[in-house]
Homo-oligomer: A and B are copies of this chain.
C-alpha cells in the first residue's frame, strides 16, 4: 500500500518548494508538485488506515469513509478558492470516471488473467449499483433543470435558481451519504462485514506517529495543491493541454494513485470484494460527500459552484461510466473481458477529451 517508491517520490516535495522559491518556469512547478502529490496522498491514506486500525471497526469504518478522499478534497478546495470552478467540476467527474473505468477495469483485467471467473458479494454489489444510479440521476438532473429553465422560461438572473437547486441537491446527497454509512456500519453490518475483516490490518505505527504523519501529509498536500493550482494556467498553455483535460484526467490520477495500486493488488489476490469496494466506494464518496461539500464550501466562501455539468461530453462520460459499471458489476462475477470493456470505454472517453479542441 505504501511501497518503497512511495518514499522515494517524497523527494519531489522539497524540490517543488525550491522551484517555487526560485520562481522556476510554471511548467516545472506544475509537474514536480503533481509528482509530489502522489506520495503525500498515499501517506494520508496510510495514516488514516493506521488510525482506523486502532479505533475499532465502527469508528475505523467511519474514519475511512470520511477521510478516504481527503487529498482530493483538499486539492479541489484550493482550486475552488482560486476560482477554477470548471477545473473543480471536471476533477469530480474525472475522479468518478477513473475509479469506475480505470481502477475497476484494470483490477478486473489483471485479476481475470490469473483467475478465470472472479466472484464478489452480489448483495453488496446490488446496493452499490443502486447508489451509482442515484448518483447518475443527481448529477444529470441539474443539467436538465438548467436546460428547462433556459429553454422554457426567461429568468432575470439565470444563476440564482441553479445555485439554490444545487444547494438542495447537495443536502439530499449528504443525507444519503449518512444513511449509507449508518446502513453499512450499523443496520446491515454483516452484509458487508466480510469486507472490513479482510481489509482490516493491524496497527504498525504508534498513535503519535500516525497522527503526526497525517498532519504533516495534510499540510504537504495543501501546499503542493497551492503550487499546482498557481501554476495551472501558465503550465497548461505551455504544455498545449486544456485546463479541462488536467481536471478530468490528471488531477484524479494524482489524487488516487495509491488506491488504484491497492485495488489492482487485491484483485490479483482474488480478493475481488475489496477491489470493487475501493473503486465503487471511492466513486460514491466523491459523488455523495466530496461534491456536495464543495458546493457548500463554495457558497460560504463566496465562490458559488453549482452542480450543472454543461459540457455534454462530461455528462455522457458520467452516464457511460456508471452504465458500464452497472452492466459489469450487477451479476456479482467478472471475467477479464469485462475489464477490457471498461478500459475500452475509458480509452474512448480519453480520445474524446483529447481530440476536443482547446
Contact = CB atoms under 8 A, between A and B. Distances in A.
Contacts of A141: 313, 316, 320, 348-349, 352
A2 to B, nearest CB: 33
A140 to B, nearest CB: 7
A133 B349 CA distance: 15
A312 to B, nearest CB: 5
A187 B109 CA distance: 13
A336 B186 CA distance: 12
A333 to B, nearest CB: 8
Contact of A340 (B161, B176, B323, B340): B176
A172 B348 contact: yes
A122 B348 CA distance: 28
B168 A356 contact: no
A78 interface: no
Interface string A291-311: 000000000000000000001
Interface stretch (A23-31, A218-226, A264-272, A324-332): A324-332
Interface string A144-179: 110111011101000001001100110011011001
A137 B320 contact: yes
B356 A145 contact: yes
Interface stretch (A36-44, A92-100, A124-132, A255-263): A124-132
Contact of A127 (B164, B175, B337): B337
A349 B58 CA distance: 33
A88 interface: no
A217 interface: no
Nearest to A180: B337
A351 interface: yes
Contact of A144 (B126, B312, B327, B328): B312
A256 B331 CA distance: 31
A311 to B, nearest CB: 6
Contacts of A344: 134, 138, 172-173, 175-176
A131 B331 CA distance: 14
A357 interface: yes
A183 interface: yes
Given A179-B340, A323-B133, A313 B357 contact: no
Interface in A91-131: 116, 122-123, 126-127, 129-131
Pairs A-B, 5 closest by C-beta atoms = A144-B316, A148-B313, A133-B327, A168-B351, A183-B337
26 contacts: A116-B188, A126-B333, A127-B338, A130-B324, A130-B327, A134-B324, A137-B320, A138-B348, A140-B316, A145-B356, A147-B313, A148-B313, A148-B352, A161-B356, A161-B357, A164-B355, A168-B348, A168-B351, A172-B344, A172-B347, A172-B351, A173-B344, A176-B341, A176-B344, A183-B335, A183-B337
